[in-house]
Amino acid sequence: MLNQENKELLTVENLDVHYGDLQALYNVSLQISPGSIVSIIGSNGAGKSTLLGTITGINKPTRGKITFKSQDIGSVPTHTIVAKGITMSPEGSRVFEKMSVEENLFMGAYLPNARRKRQELLKRVYGLFPVLKEKSGQLATYLSGGQRQMLAIGRALMVDPEVILCDEVSMGLAPVIVKDIYHKIREINREGMTFVLVEQDVKRSLKYSDYSYVMVKGKIVMEGPSSELPEDEVKDAFFGIHKYA
Amino acid sequence: MEVLLQLILNGILLGGLYAMIGLGMSLIFGIMGIINLAHGDLMIVSTYMSMVVAMRFSGNVFIALLITVVVMIIIGFLCQTFLINKVIDKGPEPPLLITFGLSIILQNVLLLIFGADAKNIPTRVSSENIVTTPWFSISEIYLINFVISIVVILLLSFVMKKTYFGRAIRATSGDIVASELVGVNTKRIYAYTMALAMATASIAGLLIGMTFTYSPSTGTQYLIFAFGVVVIGGMGNLVGTLLGGIILGLSQMVGSYFFGTAYQLFCGYIVLLVILTFRPQGLFAGARK
């Protein structure tokens, strides 16, 4: 049993989160194995972003435990969690608008360990997303939606973390760009990076991840290896068909 | 005509000092969104501190500046960490109340220690002219004020643009969550920002003490100047702050030429009101909501 627990990189156990009187998460548990891509599927308001926000310390849990590499991180401030090796590409990308693309990436390598490897990390990000190199001197505010998303993922890579949480990578983007970004995520994953992807797109989530959780109204209603989860049932759950609601 | 030229020149030079006064205020508002009502009083505290140190070291203002800057940096850091950071997540009113309270406390502490009499910092720098031409003259202290302000603003711009420290400050002012997600301790950055603002305030404090007389209640007057500079220049915009200072200085001086010296401050405020009406985001700010 103990062995099994240690194997996981990140575990969430029996998590409850409230916004004031409103409960956003109910008894949520999940395990993230090192080197995997895990997707969390759900519609608007299912609690996906709250879950990622709680893992990164932006929201504080009212109950439950979050463990990263056997350390309890449930009540640790965000910047400390980032220093331990978890970062997030937040919803809506949230790049630093008034900074150039390169400065955004430099900010990714803010912590001492990443700063020491800055040139190496920068080269890797530019290799993955050549468009960022082309636009390196431009203010981030002038980037297109897809480029902003690449910049947000690039910035997360510059942190040199062990896990990257991606909140709604595909939101508002053209399908061809989304496909491209997902291929890059898989490429980065092959080099050993662990990803947690939050998505509304059932088909794509199942296709690109190793393991999936389906959330409805703040609860996890279904989970399993992505290749074994029946897409139709996931969709039923997603749309709140009665038995899952 | 020569008089007007002289006043314009004085207005520009005085504007440098005003920019220096507004600089800290602009940093604090631009980065933390806090209106520091104690800014003028903290500055005057540093003026008194410089006076005490300068008198102790036979009028050496450099030692006074050095010691005051260090002490004010520490005060700024502690104020932010133990007072303002505790309430900064609770909306704009609690920090406003704290700085208001701080302002009252500081004024009264100064009154207790130094009394209500106007004072000045004894210094070898004189208000005599170092440049005299048939058309205009430049006083030594005004020139020193202006040059120091420019140097400080340029230095600060460099730090903001080129160092990790400056980038972290700009990132925090742009997006707190995104900054935390790259590992920036944003509360700590706030404390550093306040410390930096206090360093600029103590330089401004010393210059004021060398240029004008002051008393425990003078801080309020300079708070309004600082407001003016920040409003005209746009919040958190360093070059704007310099230009804001110059515009305020100019409008005071040129106003006094046309309406008499009694209307000097009044003319400054009129320009401030006009700008506030037509460009509430400041003359030199980008589109800021």
ipTM confidence: 0.92
Partners of A96 on chain B (C-beta within 8 Å) are 170-171, 174-175, 178
CA distance to A79, B37, B84, B172, per residue, from B187 (Å): 10, 20, 10, 9
Q: Residues B236-258: what's their mean pLDDT?
A: 89
Would you state the structure tokens that stand for residue A240, as one six-digit string? Answer: 């709140």
How many CB atoms within 10 Å of residue A77?
Answer: 16
What are the mean pLDDT values of chain A's consecutive 10-residue runs (245 residues total)?
A: 64 95 94 96 90 95 95 95 96 93 97 96 96 96 94 97 94 91 95 94 91 93 92 81 59
Q: What is the pLDDT of residues B136-185, one digit of tens each?
A: 888 889 999 999 999 999 999 999 999 999 999 999 999 999 999 999 99
Nearest Cβ partner for B182 among A57, A58, A159 = A159
Do residues A161 and A82 make contact, with C-beta atoms less than 8 angstroms apart? yes
Do residues B240 and B234 make contact, with C-beta atoms less than 8 angstroms apart? yes
Q: Taking the model in full, what pTM does it have? A: 0.90
Residue of A nearest to B174 (CA): A96
Q: Residues B118-134: what's their mean pLDDT?
A: 80
Q: What is the pLDDT of residues B16-42, one digit of tens each?
A: 999 999 999 999 998 998 999 999 999
Residue of B nearest to A106 (CA): B164
Domains, chain B, ordered by start: 2-116+137-278 (1.10.3470)
Can you give the pLDDT at residue A220?
A: 94
Q: What is the pLDDT of residues A165-204, one digit of tens each?
A: 999 988 889 999 999 999 999 999 999 999 999 988 888 9
Q: What is the pLDDT of residues A212-241, one digit of tens each?
A: 999 999 999 999 999 998 888 888 887 766
Domain ranges for chain A, please list them.
1-85+163-245, 87-161
Nearest Cβ partner for B182 among A57, A58, A155 = A155
Partners of A108 on chain B (C-beta within 8 Å) are 182
Chain A and chain B share a number of CB contacts under 8 A equal to 69
- Higher-pLDDT residue of B187 and B288 is B187
The letter for the amino acid at B106 is L
Can you give the pLDDT at residue B218?
A: 94
* Chain B residues 169-198 with CB within 8 Å of chain A: 170-171, 174-175, 177-186
Do residues A196 and A163 make contact, with C-beta atoms less than 8 angstroms apart? yes
Chain A interface with B: residues with Cβ < 8 Å: 56-58, 77-79, 82-83, 87-88, 90, 94-99, 103, 106-108, 110-111, 114-115, 155-156, 158-159
Partners of B174 on chain A (C-beta within 8 Å) are 96-99
Nearest-CA neighbor of A158 among A202, A110, A221?
A110
The CATH homologous superfamily for domain A1-85+163-245 is: P-loop containing nucleotide triphosphate hydrolases (3.40.50.300)
Nearest Cβ partner for B178 among A77, A90, A115 = A90
